[in-house]
Amino acid sequence: LRIFVTGASGMLGTAFRKLLEADDIHTARYSDLNKVDGVDYLDVRDPEEVARQLSEFTPDVVFHLAAETDVDLCEKDEDHSFSTNTIGTENIVQVCLENRIKLVYISTGAVFNGRKRTPYTEFDTPDPINCYARSKYQGELIIESLLSEHFIIRAGWMIGGGRTDKKFVAKMLDLMGRNDSIRVVDDKIGSPTFTFDFAKGILRIVESNNYGLYHLVNLGVASRLEIAQEIKRIRNFQCEIIPVSSAYFPLPAPRSDSEALENYKLKLSGLNLMPHWKDSLEKYLIELDSP
Ligand SMILES: NC(=O)c1ccc[n+]([C@@H]2O[C@H](COP(=O)([O-])OP(=O)(O)OC[C@H]3O[C@@H](n4cnc5c(N)ncnc54)[C@H](OP(=O)(O)O)[C@@H]3O)[C@@H](O)[C@H]2O)c1
């Protein structure tokens, strides 16, 4: 496959580059706002440039990962959120339509309102409660209404980035290494999604040619507290973990109580090969230690 990747310098994009560079089956071109080695500059909000770069590379499929993923920034700047996540996606869709290119769009478990007591399946109805999630959901709707050859793949709480990680796992490692006690939120649940498992899972889905909407997360549901406790166990930290409610750390954007997803469609077709999040967390922490 000839694969064009947007958002290729981001957390998931970095995992994709590693995966695709290790195989000689696919040919890929990478783009992002942030130029790093091997990644070209492309702002997905610029329709002419999107058309130019896609026509030049003539991909079979676009992996559209580029997004504004700062949920609180999206809440404060709605125009920025919609122009990047929704209009940026529409720009890609237009070129895919004109050139019969397949599209892979990464969406989020945050499209749900979080009131369901069990993990959300592909057959539950989205009802986003913050601006980031609304802008991502509108991207889904545009794709579904315009382009039949698409894969919309919803992820949970993404974990990856290794030594450059600045998100939850990196913060926990740092805080637990420096403090006798830390406070961690225990009233929000989600589905940890490790970038290396997710990227491989996407390739399996795309190669199946079964278009449509999928949930793709590691097995098992967790709260932030449970992830922290597991990091503590694996790394043998002595730090005390004090559970607190999310009201303890007020944030600009509301978060739903549950973003937990089930890979229901993959399960029904016997293709749910995602490992449990605890196994992938252990593997991730071992890899962080290796040179
Ligand atoms: N992180 C999660 O927990 C999570 C969960 C579910 C779904 N997702 C989805 O998964 C995808 C990948 O997310 P990620 O975790 O890898 O996020 P990320 O690390 O923030 O990567 C996204 C990349 O897109 C770039 N970008 C932002 N605006 C752009 C624009 N206008 N044109 C081109 N590139 C642009 C970002 O650059 P800057 O860094 O300069 O903004 C960044 O390099 C996104 O579509 C996201 O919505 C993420």
Which tens digit of pLDDT belongs to each residue from 8-60? 999 999 999 999 999 889 999 999 999 889 999 999 999 999 999 999 999 99
Is the CB–ligand 1 distance for residue 191 below 6 Å?
A: no
- Cα 65 to middle of ligand 1, angstroms: 6
- Cα 285 to middle of ligand 1, angstroms: 23
What tokens appear for 246 in the block? 């999310």
Coil, strand or helix: which one is 7? coil
Q: Which residues are CB-neighbours of 205 under 8 A, at least 6 positions away?
A: 151, 153, 214, 216, 266
Please provide residue 154's backbone torsions phi and psi, each rounded to the nearest 5 degrees.
-90, 130
Is the CB–ligand 1 distance for residue 50 below 6 Å?
A: no
Q: What is the rounded CA–CA span in Å between residue 122 and residue 132?
A: 19
For the stretch 272-288, pLDDT in tens is 999 999 999 999 999 98
For the stretch 85-94, pLDDT in tens is 999 999 999 9
Q: What is the pLDDT of residue 19?
A: 95
Q: What is the pLDDT of residue 250?
A: 95
Coil, strand or helix: which one is 280? helix
Nearest residue by C-alpha to atom 12 in ligand 1: 65
Beta strands in the chain (DSSP E): 2-6, 27-32, 39-41, 61-64, 102-108, 150-155, 157-159, 181-185, 189-190, 192-194, 212-215, 222-223, 240-244
Please provide residue 59's backbone torsions phi and psi, each rounded to the nearest 5 degrees.
-75, 160
Residue 225 has pLDDT above 90, yes or no: yes
Is the CB–ligand 1 distance for residue 108 below 6 Å?
A: yes
The CA-atom distances, in angstroms, between 186 and each of 57, 224, 226, 249, 282 are 46, 6, 8, 12, 21
Residue 289 has pLDDT above 90, yes or no: no
- Cα 140 to middle of ligand 1, angstroms: 15
- Cα 233 to middle of ligand 1, angstroms: 30
Nearest residue by C-alpha to atom 15 in ligand 1: 11
Is the CB–ligand 1 distance for residue 67 below 6 Å?
A: yes
